[in-house]
Structure 1
Amino acid sequence: MTEPVYYAPTGGHPGQDQLLTDRAMFTEAYAVIPRGTMRDIVTSALPFWEGTRLWVLARPLSGFAESFSHYIMEVQPGGGSDRPESDPAAQAVLFVVEGAVTLTIGGADHVLEPGGYAYIPAGADWRLHNHAGPVARFHWLRKAYEPVDGLDRPEPFVTNEREVAPIPMPGTEGRWATQRFVDPGDLRHDMHVNIVNFEPGGVIPFAETHVMEHGLYVLEGKAVYRLNQDWVEVEAGDYMWLRAFCPQACYAGGPGRFRYLLYKDVNRHMPLRAGPR
């Protein structure tokens, strides 16, 4: 497999001579957050985290994406947290794109370097610190776990995308492939966070229209992406947030691969009344 490339924001602040026109969009069906909007002025902080700031890319909003949040975390050398999560119902996926962090879960330490992936079940006892030296940046996706009577809860696991082979989509000659970190047949999981890969010229050849909410962070390359009725140019570092049933498709623009980290909610009944599922 070709060596992975990961884009990560570094913040900063544009000069007064920069044009205001940008690709940022927020509509009733989707949002696009270009990488150029991830500046110092839009970072946030969290309780019990030291030497850390974050960009919030997605959060539950009534009438829009409702099931998840998505952060890009930036942890300075020596930073981190012994109390990273304040919600006992929140499960998590971590995906490292720069530097290295030490994740402690179940009493065991795991060093996650670029491409490192961890699933953390709801209620788990975990800690995270940057002991390696350089600034570390990683994605943190959170969703309230929806338990089902008769199904065990999933266990934590740690891996790296280099250990997960891409599975080609049928009839694409490998131009469109997905790295699945969780077996789609494992119904204990109610969210998937995968990596989708397109070779130059690869396409999603129809307008996908489905119940799953999506968060898509472009790790590498560029493409033209269909979002509802619009075609939008996206590049490494951009983020797309799709409401359920928003039509989507894409053309990978080349000259290199187009790859993104993809969130979707799966494997549960649709709620028929207000309140938690």
Structure 2
Amino acid sequence: MSRNSYYAPQGGHPSQNDLLTGRAVFTEAYAVIPKGVMQDIVTSPLPLWNKTRCWVLARPLSGFAETFSQYIMEVAPGGGSKRPEPDRDAEGVLFIVEGELQLTLAGKTHVLRPGGYAFIPPATDWSVLNAAKQSVRFHWIRKAYEPVEGIDLPEPLILDENDIEPSAMPGTDGRWATTRFVDPDDMRHDMHVTIVTLQPGAVIPFAETHVMEHGLYVLEGKAVYRLNQDWVEVEAGDFMWLRAFCPQACYAGGVGPFRYLLYKDVNRHMKLTLQPRLR
């Protein structure tokens, strides 16, 4: 089986001769953060991380992402963290796009390479180290876990996308498929991070309106995406945020597959605004 490819930002700084025109869009219903803006000037350091910087793609913010944060982490050789997660209530997913990461999780050490996936439950001790000779780049998706009485916490998971057979959408002959790392019916999980693949010419043929908030990072290829009332061109390295119920559809273009890493919140009741209770 041939291994999949993944886009990873390299940073740098634009030339003074470059045009200001770009594809960045920020609206009440969606946002597009194109790969061209992921330069050195917009990186962030993190406390208790060594030789590390990150691009923040999403964060809880009024009028923006509400349920999650997402970073692209870049860790230089010898870098990492012994205390990466400051919030004991946070769960996390790591997905490697370039290089090699040594992850110690629940007392066991794993080496993750491109396509490697790790699910980290809340209140779990873990650490990361780049023991290789080149930088490692990976996505780190964080969410405040929503416990439910009578449902156990999910266990840690170490998987590889390249070992998982994608599940084809019905009636598409495999032209539209999803790689799932956890069982969609497993109520222990309140978020899904999957990989969606559309072959050249494949479509999402109607305007989906989901209750779930979405974060989409394009790993490979290009497409024209319908976001609310707009058609937006996207390519490998771009990130899209979609508010709940934002209409979405897609035409995959280019000579190769269009693939993206997808976050969405799932499997929980909708939170209600607290009102004075009747007596």
Report the TM-score when normalising by structure 1. Answer: 0.98
Alignment of 1:79-228 (within 5 A): 79-228=79-228
Give 1:165 shift: 0.7
Corresponding letter in the other structure for 1:133 = K
Percent identity at matched positions?
Answer: 72
Matches of 1:107 and 1:48, distance apart in 2: 20
Alignment of 1:59-78 (within 5 A): 59-78=59-78
Contact 1:199–1:254 (Cα < 8 Å) also in 2: no
Q: Using a 3 Å threshold, how does the CA distance of structure 1 residues 177 and 80 change in structure 2: closer, same or farther?
A: same
Matches of 2:84 and 2:25, distance apart in 1: 31
Report what 1:37 is aligned to. Answer: 37
Report what 1:268 is aligned to. Answer: 268
Corresponding letter in the other structure for 1:121 = P
Matches of 1:114 and 1:210, distance apart in 2: 30
* Residue deviations 1:82-137 (CA, integer Å, cap 9, x gap): 00000011100000000001000111000000000000001100000000221000
5+ residue gaps, structure 1, are none
Contact 1:200–1:257 (Cα < 8 Å) also in 2: yes
Matches of 1:232 and 1:224, distance apart in 2: 6
Stretches of 4+ aligned residues off by more than 6 angstroms: none
* Residue deviations 1:128-167 (CA, integer Å, cap 9, x gap): 0000221000000000000000100000010100111100
Matches of 1:64 and 1:102, distance apart in 2: 32
Matches of 2:166 and 2:274, distance apart in 1: 38
SS of residue paired to 2:13: coil
Corresponding letter in the other structure for 1:41 = I
Report the TM-score when normalising by structure 2. Answer: 0.97
Instruction: Tell me if 1:243 matches 2:243.
Output: yes
Corresponding letter in the other structure for 1:169 = M
SS of residue paired to 1:76: strand
Matches of 1:94 and 1:181, distance apart in 2: 12
Matches of 2:2 and 2:178, distance apart in 1: 14
> Cα RMSD between the aligned structures?
1.1
Contact 1:98–1:136 (Cα < 8 Å) also in 2: yes
Q: Using a 3 Å threshold, how does the CA distance of structure 1 residues 62 and 120 change in structure 2: closer, same or farther?
A: same
SS of residue paired to 1:205: strand
Give 1:2 shift: 4.9
